[in-house]
Amino acid sequence: MCIPMLLMGMPSLFFPQDTLQTVVAKEGDGILSLLRKQGVDPYAHYDDFIAMNVDNLRDSIHLYAGREYRIPAADAHVAVVDSIQRKASEVKDIKTREIPILGEKHSTVLMKSDRLAGTVYYLVSGHGGPDPGAMAEYAGKTISEDEYAYDITLRLTRELISHGAMVYVIIRDENDGIRDERILKMDHDEVAYLNKPIPLNQVKRLKQRVDIVNGLYNRHRGQYQRLIVTHIDSRSVGQNIDVFFYHHEKSKNGKRLAESIHNTFRKNYKKYQPNRVYSGTFQDRTSLYLVKKTHPAMTFIEVGNIRNKKDQRRILVHQNRQALAKWIAEGILLDYEGR
């Protein structure tokens, strides 16, 4: 069963239509000024506005003049006659960062908080370079594990950076960035951190990733560090699976990280799919090379079966890939703040 379609792409899940009004953005309008003109508290409803209109925003934070936008219900009104000077000062308070690897359309990251300030995260997407990982056919085209795992990883990167984390993207494709297409075109130009070619030999490929992560871990010794590895499974065509989380059997922190993300998924399934039970698990799986050899506390995530038609919906719809990233990030925040 796929993750619901979905969080950021389906605002009606959060906001009943009869509570909404719409307005057409004019040249020069920003989110804050648009909300203020409608008598809506821009601080209280900024995130609501983005969630409701994310597919109609440039770089997830900028309006398009002439387009229609949903306005959250104004439970906290403000005077429309506030001074232009105050509006200008509010705009200055919005902080962003430019992260080129996220791609031209998504490189501007809105800084939401500093909840992860001082943390370091290493994100590794499965396979890449000469190894595309699991493959399947969809609409007459071949799709591969590495492209979708990478897209989810970049979306997770964006989420973590928005809360102040330092993020190392270990497997990188400078040409791709976050993509919203259903079919992500395969290529083989991914490299490892600092532009290292990815070996074809599996053991050498995994050892390269371990060496990179452990080297960075030593550089940041004393800081809060975690590793997230993202894969897409390749079981039989008829077998659909939920999202699974693995950790090192002797790592208390790794277990807590996996459990925190797992609990976040269970909570969100209960909220958005109340008629089904989430069957994914978190468990130790020290036999996995990256789980066994890397130094940071970590979780290894399998997000579904690329060969199963139901599971394909989880990764082919970009809103679902965004949900996976968002839910993983929520679990990471839960883990960090509950330590």
Which is higher by pLDDT, 242 or 322? 322
Same structural domain, 64 and 122 = no
User: Which of 69-73, 113-117, 262-266 is predicted most confidently?
Assistant: 113-117
CA 228 to chain centre: 12
pLDDT for 60 equals 64
CATH number at residue 129: 3.40.630.40
H or E segment and range at residue 87? helix 84-93
Any domain includes 2: no
From 40, 75, 94, give the residue that closes a domain.
Answer: 94
Query: Reduced to 3 states, what is the DSSP secondary structure of residue 22?
Result: strand
Domain boundary (94, 120, 140) is at 94
Residues 269-277, mean pLDDT to the nearest whole number: 72
The closest of 15, 4, 136, 24 to 74, measured between CA atoms, is 15
In a domain, residue 214? The reply is yes
Task: Answer yes or no: do 38 and 123 share one domain.
Answer: no
Cα distances (angstroms) measured from residue 336 to each of 12, 146, 153, 324? 30, 28, 19, 18
Domain annotation covers residue 146:
yes
Secondary structure, 3-state, 202-240: HHHHHHHHHHHHHHHHHHCCCCEEEEEEEEEECCCCCCC
Query: Within 124-273, where are the H helices?
Result: 145-162, 202-219, 252-272
Residue 22 included in any domain: yes
pLDDT given for residue 85 in this prediction = 44
Residues 120 and 222 reside in one and the same domain: yes
Same domain, 24 and 157: no
Domain annotation covers residue 155: yes
Give this prediction's pTM. 0.74
Average pLDDT of the segment spanning 141-156? 97
Residue 126 in any domain: the answer is: yes
Beta-bridge partners for 137: 142
pLDDT, the chain, mean: 85
pLDDT at residue number 17: 42
Residues 102 and 117 placed together within one structural domain of the fold: yes
Look at residue 76 and tell me whether its pLDDT is greater than 60.
no
Q: Please indicate, yes or no, whether residues 209 and 263 belong to a single structural domain of this protein.
A: yes
Which pLDDT does position 325 carry in this prediction? 95
Read off the pLDDT band of 250 (50, 70, 90): very high
In terms of residue numbers, what domain contains 17? 11-94
How far CA 101 is from CA of 151, 242, 258, in Å, comes to 11, 29, 26
Alpha-carbon separation of residue 25 from 35, 37, 57 (angstroms): 10, 11, 11
276: pLDDT confidence band, cut at 50, 70 and 90? Answer: low
Together in a domain, 40 and 162: no
Assess whether 229 and 270 both reside in one domain: yes
The tally of domains found in the chain comes to: 2
pLDDT digits (tens, 9 = 90+) for 211-227: 999 999 999 999 999 99
Write down the residue that tokens 């790592």 correspond to: 251
Question: Tell me, what's the pLDDT at 6?
Answer: 37
Q: Residue 112: is its pLDDT beyond 80?
A: yes
Q: Is 269 inside any structural domain?
A: yes
Average pLDDT over residues 163-182: 96
DSSP-assigned letter for residue 102: G
Q: Quick one: 83 and 22 in the same domain?
A: yes
- 79 or 109, greater pLDDT: 109
Q: Is 115 inside any structural domain? A: yes
Residue where one domain finishes, among candidates 56, 78, 94: 94
